[in-house]
Amino acid sequence: MISKNTFKKKQDSRLQTNKLSVSTIAQQIIEDVVHLYGREIDRNAYQSKDASVVGWWAKIGNLSKGKLVVVATRSQKLSEEFRQRAVQHVGLKLDQSVVMYSANDTLLRFARRMIDGMSGIAHESGIYDGQLNGEEFKKLSYALDRLSKIQLFMNQGRTIQLNDLYESAKKHQREAGEIGLILVDSVQQFLDSRFRLVDQQQCLIGLKNLAEELMVPILALYRLDTTVESHPSTLTYDELREVDRLAALTDGFMMMSGVPENIVIEPAKIVGEKCLCRTRSARLPNGVRIGQIR
């Protein structure tokens, strides 16, 4: 029997190619699960569940080709759930490819969280130790089948350089065709060519330029102060000026709160004040292009 540690080592060794997608990982996991359990997965299990995971998408607002929308949150758990839902919606419902850039995640970890979420089975429950019963195996079959149909590509590095993102996104579109969504986690994680943090305003200008050049929607996460627990869905006064300045460079700046089972997405507000993150047309400084950021 394949042990959990052996399975992990075996999967990690396959992550050397830059062209690896989450569907490739799903197919590899399917092969191992079939070998481990001695039975084929049931690709017809729980088909009706697809519709329940995509109804929240309309809350994001003006996210279409050439648009940049930023979603701010204080919660890492909400950020993880949001990325999974976005990938499921674009990859399954819209049947389009997703390119994700993150300095906080790996494709294998993200794939395992997708399996956990779609199957309702925590990976600690013995998925890779042959411990699942018949009903649990059906749920795992559903998750693996769905995951194998998602074309999600992700950077394999531990850092994100803005110019590298720009070039790799263009290369991906040339080689793999139309991109349904570019997903960025997060705006504050970008580095320049000297590995210094890029100013957030420059970052949004670059992402907006990229969205317009490739005519691809870009969804970027923005991390707010996680220590302000009393304001999960509002901005503090310290955050007000920065967010209002950045919102002018996007096609939408939203606030995400709630819990993973019930995500709330709405324009960010401050207590007693008007809505601050109103949607506006992006106004980019004349002549500023992504290639000028060094």
Confirm if 276 and 70 have CB atoms less than 8 A apart: no
Strand positions, DSSP E, 136-286: 152-154, 160-161, 179-185, 190-191, 218-223, 253-259, 262-267
Question: What is the per-residue pLDDT across 80-95, written as a single tens digit (0 to 9) for each?
Answer: 999 998 998 899 888 9
Q: Closest Cα to residue 222, out of 201, 206, 238?
A: 201
What span, in angstroms and rounded, lies between the C-alpha atoms of 180 and 95? 8
Task: Reply yes or no on whether the pLDDT at 182 is more than 90.
Answer: yes
For Cα atoms 196, 198, 200, give the angle at the middle one, nearest 5 degrees. Answer: 150
Q: Which two tokens stand for residue 256?
A: 């995400």
199 CB neighbour count, 10 Å cutoff = 12
Which carries the bigger pLDDT value, residue 186 or residue 44?
A: 186
Intra-chain end-to-end CA distance of the chain, in Å = 51
Structurally, what CATH architecture does the domain formed by 4-45+58-283 represent? 3-Layer(aba) Sandwich (3.40)
CA atoms within 13 A on the CB side of 106: 12
Per-residue DSSP letter, 158:
S
Backbone angles phi, psi at 198, to 5 degrees: -85, 140
pLDDT of residue 17: 33
What span, in angstroms and rounded, lies between the C-alpha atoms of 250 and 213? 15
Q: Closest Cα to residue 19, out of 150, 189, 152?
A: 152
Q: Which two tokens stand for residue 82?
A: 């949001």
Question: What is the per-residue pLDDT across 251-262, written as a single tens digit (0 to 9) for each?
Answer: 988 888 888 888
Whether residue 193 has a cis bond before it, omega within 30° of 0? no
Question: What is the per-residue pLDDT across 133-149, written as a single tens digit (0 to 9) for each?
Answer: 888 888 888 889 889 98
Report pTM: 0.80
Which carries the bigger pLDDT value, residue 242 or residue 96?
A: 96
34 CB neighbour count, 10 Å cutoff = 13
β-pairing verdict for 262-267 and 253-259: antiparallel
Question: What is the per-residue pLDDT across 110-127, written as a single tens digit (0 to 9) for each?
Answer: 988 888 888 888 766 777
Buried b / exposed e along 200-237 (16+ C-beta atoms within 10 A): bebbbbbbbbbbbebebbbbbbbbbeeeeeeebebbee
What span, in angstroms and rounded, lies between the C-alpha atoms of 40 and 194? 50
pLDDT of residue 100: 93
CA 231 to chain centre: 24
Mean confidence (pLDDT) of the chain: 77
Which carries the bigger pLDDT value, residue 112 or residue 212?
A: 212
